[in-house]
Amino acid sequence: MRYFHPTLFHPTLSLTLLCAAALTACGGGSDNTDSSTSADTAASYAANATLIAGDASSALDESVVAAQAVVATQAGTSVPTSADTHESAMGVPTETPQAVANVPVNCAGGGTATLTITGGTVSSVLNGQLDAGEVYQIVFANCKSSTGATTVNGTLAMTVLSASGSDLSITTTATDLSVTLPRGTVTLNGSTSRQVSSSAGAGGTTVLSSQFSSPSLTLATHFNARSSSFTLSAVSIARQSTWLNGVLQSSSINGTHTLSATLPNGAFSYTVATQGGVTYAASGLPTSGAWTITLPLTRVGVSIANAVATITVDDGKDGTIDRTFTVPIGRLESDAG
């Protein structure tokens, strides 16, 4: 089966996904107004730079995994009874796709979804795979792709640009697409382009490798009893994630994006670049890697190892480190969002 649902993996499956993002948490100062960045402000920058990108990537992955499961389930319960057969200009019979419009589907792990498919042929629309030329709209209602998977709500539209073997290229548009992650809820709005491939991993796992880009994506978070909204732009991120029975085990990302927001305690905008791949646990917490955060007047560096984040501050971006301090990963988790 083409595309990537981890519980339905086969060497010819593909998946898509995903994404990225990051920014300041619960306030902090503005780099535009103070040439000396405080430790608390730098820690807030570090929290969002290291965590929000992983959260956005996971939300996008989970939503497409759920979408593929819905498509597979619908195919298993549908019978093409109203397809018309016509002759092409060459005298060869062709099939007109059976309409799949607002079809209710029970999600494998609980909840429901409403599925609409246009494009494709009778055989492709009902084969449970994502095929080139097909356009999907899925409205999720507390949908889980499998037992133990996250809960997805809202609307995801997908257009399949190409699909071959284990490789897939799609565009997606999220509309109030809400995903419940281990640390809280993430809600996405905006469009993405993704190229994805899937392969068999160790111990029966599925490994999804994807390249994600977006000109602009809004990300609303509800973490630690706080609600915040960010804009991610110029996103270009590669992501690799490992899944077992439809449940995320770990992930890594590598790439850049710009993150901005207007929060009660200040407005922020900065670019984030990973220094090679950075890794995350299933909980969404970073486990290792390095990030560079570039603001108008300051450059902040973050490196994580052994559940501790080392943060450096270069005021003036002159290449001289003005301050270095460490915080536990728990501090980043509490500050993010």
- Taking the chain (337 residues) in runs of 10, the rounded mean pLDDT of each run is 51 35 39 63 90 88 91 74 41 53 94 94 86 95 93 97 89 97 94 92 92 92 87 94 92 94 74 94 95 95 97 95 95 87
Q: Give buried/exposed letters for 69-107 (b at 16+ CB in 10 A, else e).
A: bbbbbbbeebeeeeeeeeeeeeeeeebebbebeeeebeb
Q: What pLDDT sits at residue 213?
A: 93
Q: What pLDDT sits at residue 6?
A: 61
Helix or strand (DSSP H, E) at 204: none
Q: Which of 153, 240, 258 is nearest to 195 (CA)?
A: 240
Q: Give buried/exposed letters for 226-257 (b at 16+ CB in 10 A, else e).
A: bebebbbbebebbbbbbbbebbbbebbbbbbb
- Are 21 and 52 in contact by the 8 Å Cβ rule? The answer is yes
- How is residue 7 annotated by DSSP? G
Q: What pLDDT sits at residue 36?
A: 67
Q: What pLDDT sits at residue 18?
A: 33
174 C-beta neighbours (distance < 10 Å), count: 24
Domains of the chain by residue range: 6-76+97-335
- Are 47 and 335 in contact by the 8 Å Cβ rule? The answer is yes
- Nearest-5° angle of CA 16, CA 226, CA 31? 85
Q: Please enumerate in sequence order all residues whose Cβ is within 8 A of that of 144, keeping only pairs 6 or more positions apart, or say none.
A: 66, 107, 108, 109, 110, 111, 150, 151, 152
Q: Please enumerate in sequence order all residues whose Cβ is within 8 A of that of 35, keeping only pairs 6 or more positions apart, or say none.
A: 297, 298, 315, 316
Q: What are 194's two structure tokens?
A: 């993704």
Q: What pLDDT sits at residue 33?
A: 37
